[in-house]
Structures are given as structure tokens and as C-alpha cells.
Structure 1
């Protein structure tokens, strides 16, 4: 999307799905209602984050199974499932099941690496195998193989009254083409391309040859496109349009952005992670900033992230503004 004359093709949103630990149902219901609203507003996709041992969605596949029964058109994605917590064969069964229930709308996003706070959880997660678990890209390859219907068992046939298959069942033939890798480095972008995965780039990247977030993110998109020109790339940033916001909401939104901005000035921690600035303002102002963004100039689909800690009515206002004002300002047309 090099200039404003080329329209944004696909518009999605991402939510963390926060809930109250003492009463978790309302938060989960709110997430499902937000996904339903997204479909009504014409969004192309709705994505959920993955949070273990926190007060955000810990089982996105289960949540999307529920969402698949409340919607009929919108694509449903995970951004992202950290595979260090998962058995690839079992996850393949869950993903294929939800994809079938959704009518082929599931877009699983994945990542690799040791689970967050590994030393605190390894004894509970892998009490017998923690020292030998492989958290490399091999774990993704195992999942992709199972999703594609390749052999996972050396037995096929009937035993008594039960019939067994060599592959994961159910098998969803189109799912392998809708697998995404969420990466923040050149290596991850190139790996995703080499393994025929789509590429999710978010508001977190690793500082490599530059400390300019936008240029680093753009370099990852270029690396992916060079290796796989026909692959899909989705950019994720936090955007907060204020067109329809009340004065109270604007004050809250501005305080939220101000508190998060200091981390964007320099790479953070030993891994030198960089964070994008949240975009806040009118839809026209945000559109102008996006058109000046080197990474946005190279994509034609986005999944804008909803802020972590807002209320349900705030998300309704933000999504409504994105769909009715920001999206059209980017040339996007809703699917209703």
C-alpha cells in the first residue's frame, strides 16, 4: 500500500479478553459480544490474544469455538498461541475441529520459545520432560505436519468396533493455508516464508540493524515478501480513534498512551525489544500517521489491537470509529 490511492484490503482487530478472576464469565461474554459487534460492523477478522496464568484469555481456541457459533462470516484468529505451552498433535485436533465448526474461518497465529516465566511453571507444565522439551521452530513444523494431514500414527484400521486413522481427525483441508507465524525478527519472517506460513508483525519487534521501530518492522515485511511474494502479511498496532469518544474517554485514553510511551524510546531488556507508539487522535490524524509508516506502506491488511485495560463501552466506541471512520479513511470497504 505505497500511497493513499490504494485501498486497505482487509481490516481486523485484536483483543486480550480481560476478565475478573473472581467472576470470569462477564469478561468472556464481553469478548464474544465484541467479536459479534465486529462482524456487524463489517470487519474482516477478529483476533484474540493468549495469556496463561493471567486474567486474559488462556484458551483462545475454546473462545473462538464459541465465537464461531455466534458469527457467520468474520475470520477468527489467534495472535498468538505460544507453542511452548502446547502439544502440537493435540493442538492440531483442536484447531481442525474449530475450523470445521466455523466453516473454514479459523486463522491460527503461532509463536515459539520457552513459556513465559519458564522457571516458575516448568515443574507444573512438564514435570518429567522440562529438560528435553524442544521450543524451537521444530515445534511449529510438527504442528504444521499434523494440520496438513501427514501421518502421526503407524496404525490405521479397525480394532474391535473402533476405527483408527493415521492422521489427525478431523482433517480440515484448507486450514494449512491459513496458518500464521507471529514474529518480531528477520529470522522469524524468513522462516515463516520458507514454511509457507503467513506473517503477523505486531507492535513489538527486536532491535536489529536499527533502533527505529517503523524501519525495523518494514525490514521484516521486506524480508518476508522477498522470500514469499504471494504470502499474506498483517500489521498489528494499537490505534485509538477519538472521533466518537466522550471527553471522559479521551482523558482516559490519553493517560493510557502517555503511560506507555516512555517504553518506546529505546530497546528494552537483554533481548532489545522495541515497542511501537500507540496511535491516538481523530481517524484522519491516525490515517495520516499510518500512510507515513514504512511498514504500513507495504501491507494491505491490518489487525489493530484494542488497548488492554479499557471497559466494554470503550471498545464499542473504538471499534465503531475504526469501522465507520478510520477504515474508510484508509480506503477500506466494510463487508456487511
Structure 2
């Protein structure tokens, strides 16, 4: 059995919210039901991937708003929203509104950079300003200032009989700025996140620095440590220095024989990409962890990246059925989580 001297403090899950394009409502309803199940099972958080022009959730803010009205406790987040697709001011308004509706449970995770497949979409996304758009860290800095409620213009006050205007983004949700996360896959991004007061999302895809050994777990560990060192050096408050790890885990404890066979095929198809770094940036993929909860727990405790965190958002496989997610989440909450020292919300802890 793994060493449980350092129990896992927070347990979450991440879903892409896959849907059939012929019936997208059913897929969105399935996602909401999965989030409701997560709350009943005691999960601390549910996270949504953000997909554009694909068959996954394109509007996680709307889904979080809906989920907030069907749950009361579980935290809701995005992992991650690519800000290249967003107007930071409008996104700040939507997230603050949703956070207020949720009672302060929203955890927005963001990233920057050119939108995926930029050349195929820029004529529709930014038809008049594609060449001038700034996809650097400055975009996320602006977003954070807007969420924090900093002044955006000189004008405020009453105009006419009933119109009243603010000089900051409204509504303002106190505490939301402290719950902003940055999805960092490189040491540079991890350090930037630490210096600028973001919590850190580290997932199953990372980029090593030049000269680093191609060992995913060790590279992830190094990035997390660099993040924490940068946050400490810049005097960031503790509430802005949380770190969450997101690996794909597939416990098979209560799976049927057919499910186990399907899960193993999925893992086998994805495993070759983990054998060596990919592409010019040497992108590295973590191995999917499959097996009994005891077997997965042993692998996690031996994982250098996992050793650096006390909260996780395990990623659900992309292409499974609703009943598969029910089985996987139930095993995570009732078997894998406890094997990692975690206790469900309501079971003797806040």
C-alpha cells in the first residue's frame, strides 16, 4: 500500500463534456448530471475543458451557471479557458455573474497564446484586428485586473434620470481574483504564474526546458517547485499559491469486463505518444493510469509530480459513455480517494 502520511486534501475531476452533434442537448445534460453525481460523492471540485469548433463544451461559463443551480457545495472551474478566444472584459463580467450565482464557487483557469488552428479561424474571430491582437501574458494580466475590480475608466455616476454607470467591471465578486488559475505547461509559464498571483494548474501535457531529461514526472515536479519558489520570492499570499495536478486515471474496481476491455484499448491507443517527446517543442504526455484503485494509488505515490501536490483534478477520458463516467467517478470517490488519504466533503471535514 502507498504511504499515507501526507493525505490528499482536495479531490476533483475534469471533463470535456463530449456531445453528439446531432443531439448536443443530451451531452450537456449528461455533463450536468455528472457534476451533480460528483457533489453527491463528496468531490471537492468539477472542472470543464474549453473547446471551440469541436464536439465538447464551448461555453463552460454557461454550463457552470447551470450547474451552480443544481448543486450547492462543489467548486466549479475551467481547465482551461484560452484567452485568445475571449474579450477579457466580457469574460470578467460573465465569470463574476456566475460566481455570484454559485455563491463564490467558481475557479476560472486560463491560458494565453494564439488560438488553436489560428490561420483557419482568425478571419471570423478577429476579422478586423487579427494582426493587432495581443496573445501574450499581457492579455491575462488585463483579465486579472478586470476581475479584481480595478478602475477601467474615469467616467462613473448618474447620467439622465435612471442610468447609473460604474468605473469597474460589474458585477464585482469579491474573492474571485484569488481563485484565478493559470494552466502552465512550461517552467517559464509556471514561474510567471507564481510571480503574478495565480494558482497553478499542471496537467498531463508539459514542455521540458532544454537539456532536461525526458522524464514527465520529474519535469512536472521541477515546474511545480519553480512555481512555488517564484510565488514565495514575490510575496504572493498563500491563498494564491494552490497547485492542482491533472492526470488521466481510470480505476477498474467496479468496471464490467466489457468496460475494462474498452478502457484498456483506450489506454493502449494513447500510450505510444508517451514514449518520447513530440514535435519541435519536445511536448511530453503523461501515461494514463489504469488498474485497481490500489494499483493507481501506488503509481501516484511514486510519481514525482504527485508528490508535490495535495489536490488533484483527475481527467476523465474523452470518448466514454455516461455510465462509464459514473463507474469511474464512483470508484475514484469511494476507493481511489480514500487510498490516497482523502475524505469526501461532509465526512468529518469542511
TM-score, normalization: structure 1?
0.98
Q: In the alignment, which of 265, 269, 288 is matched to residue 255 of structure 1?
A: 265
SS at match of 1:319: helix
Show CA shifts across 1:79-129 (max 9, x none). Answer: 000000000011000010000000000000000000000000000000000
The aligned runs of 1:129-168 (5 Å cut-off) are 129-160=129-160, 161-168=162-169
The aligned runs of 1:147-296 (5 Å cut-off) are 147-160=147-160, 161-208=162-209, 209-229=212-232, 230=238, 231-296=241-306
SS at match of 1:199: strand
Who is 1:75 aligned against?
A: 75
Who is 2:18 aligned against?
A: 18
The CA RMSD over aligned residues, in Å, is 0.9
**How far has the Cα of 1:3 moved from its partner?**
4.7
Pairing 1:33–2:33 present: yes
Show CA shifts across 1:56-76 (max 9, x none). Answer: 000000100000000000000
Q: Which runs of no fewer than 5 residues in structure 1 stay unpaired?
A: none
SS at match of 2:268: helix
Distance in 2 (alpha carbons) for counterparts of 1:153 and 1:101 = 26
Distance in 1 (alpha carbons) for counterparts of 2:249 and 2:108 = 23
Runs of 4+ aligned residues of structure 1 deviating over 2 Å after TM superposition are none
Show CA shifts across 1:227-252 (max 9, x none). Answer: 22531000000000000000000000
**How far has the Cα of 1:226 moved from its partner?**
1.1
**How far has the Cα of 1:25 moved from its partner?**
0.2
Distance in 1 (alpha carbons) for counterparts of 2:38 and 2:280 = 38
Who is 2:235 aligned against?
A: none
Distance in 1 (alpha carbons) for counterparts of 2:74 and 2:155 = 38
SS at match of 2:95: helix
**How far has the Cα of 1:268 moved from its partner?**
1.2
SS at match of 1:7: coil
Who is 1:8 aligned against?
A: 8
Q: Which range moved further: 257-266 or 220-229?
A: 220-229
Q: Contact conserved, 2:187 with 2:208, CA < 8 A, in 1?
A: no
Distance in 1 (alpha carbons) for counterparts of 2:326 and 2:23 = 22
Q: Which runs of no fewer than 5 residues in structure 2 stay unpaired?
A: 233-237
Q: Contact conserved, 1:3 with 1:297, CA < 8 A, in 2?
A: no
Distance in 2 (alpha carbons) for counterparts of 1:272 and 1:88 = 30
TM-score, normalization: structure 2?
0.95
Q: Contact conserved, 2:7 with 2:341, CA < 8 A, in 1?
A: yes
Q: Which range moved further: 3-12 or 99-108?
A: 3-12
Q: How many residues align?
A: 335
**How far has the Cα of 1:272 moved from its partner?**
1.7
Show CA shifts across 1:140-171 (max 9, x none). Answer: 00000000100112210111120000000000
Pairing 1:330–2:331 present: no
The aligned runs of 1:92-131 (5 Å cut-off) are 92-131=92-131
